[in-house]
């Protein structure tokens, strides 16, 4: 009887650990399959509004801002992914911030995004060409541009990356729009997400 009473707390702990493990597995599966129904096309622009301080800073600076970050949809080995570049989200084993490719579920994970959208260029042929250029930039291992200099294409920030991919395909997706920021440390002309998604050549095909 005493032995059974001693075992009861141990059993409870084991059951709780088992329940937590099952909940974790279910959550991970749900995260993996959240956006399985979203059908991307090459060249789609994939936006998100982030969850951290970086996102809040971009939203504050971009007076027309709805989203704080953007990547471009590509197809490699018959599967789609999102190519983008951002500080502080290094891939495993990497020591620097560089252009990377990840799944839509990773890009829009609950830890990174509160809202997201897909915008599609009406000219699908140009979208496919921009996608190819983005893959080339990925393979070059372009680093993140912490100085945010548009005239230096050896390093890039997120909007610059997608703008460059489309420019190499023959389209200026910002339509020449630039946003000016006047701050003591951070000032100059930049491409913000709103400078791109306001382009009427793109149509909204999905949002959450």
pLDDT tens by residue, 173-199: 999 999 988 766 667 899 999 999 999
144 sits in which H/E element: strand 143-144
Q: Quote the CATH superfamily of domain 45-207.
A: endopeptidase domain like (from Nostoc punctiforme) (3.90.1720.10)
Q: Which of 8-12, 49-53, 108-112, 166-170 has the lowest mean pLDDT?
A: 8-12
CA–chain centroid gap for 161, Å, is 12
Its pTM stands at 0.83
| CA separation for the pair 65, 57 (Å, rounded) | 11
Which residues are CB-contacts of 118 (< 8 A; sequence separation ≥ 6)? 38, 40, 44, 45, 46, 47, 73, 204, 205, 206, 207
Q: How far is Cα 131 from Cα 71, in angstroms, rounded to an integer?
A: 11
């Amino acid at each position: 009887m005493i032995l059974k009473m001693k075992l009861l707390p141990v059993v409870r702990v084991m059951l709780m650990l088992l329940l937590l493990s099952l909940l974790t597995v279910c959550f991970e599966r749900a995260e993996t399959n959240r956006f399985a129904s979203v059908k991307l096309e090459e060249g789609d622009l994939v936006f998100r509004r982030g969850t951290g301080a970086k996102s809040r800073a971009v939203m504050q600076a971009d007076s027309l801002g709805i989203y704080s970050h953007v990547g471009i949809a590509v197809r490699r080995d018959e599967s789609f992914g999102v190519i983008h570049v951002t500080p502080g989200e290094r891939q495993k084993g990497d020591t620097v911030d560089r252009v990377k490719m990840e799944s839509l579920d990773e890009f829009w994970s609950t830890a990174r995004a509160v809202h997201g959208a897909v915008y599609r260029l009406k000219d699908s042929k140009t979208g496919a060409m921009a996608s190819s250029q983005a893959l080339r930039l990925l393979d070059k291992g372009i680093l993140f541009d912490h100085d945010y200099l548009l005239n230096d294409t050896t390093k890039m920030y997120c909007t610059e990356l997608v703008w460059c991919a489309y420019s190499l395909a023959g389209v200026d997706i910002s339509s020449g729009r630039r946003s000016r920021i006047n701050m003591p440390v951070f000032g100059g002309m930049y491409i913000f997400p709103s400078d791109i998604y306001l382009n009427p050549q793109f149509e909204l095909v999905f949002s959450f």
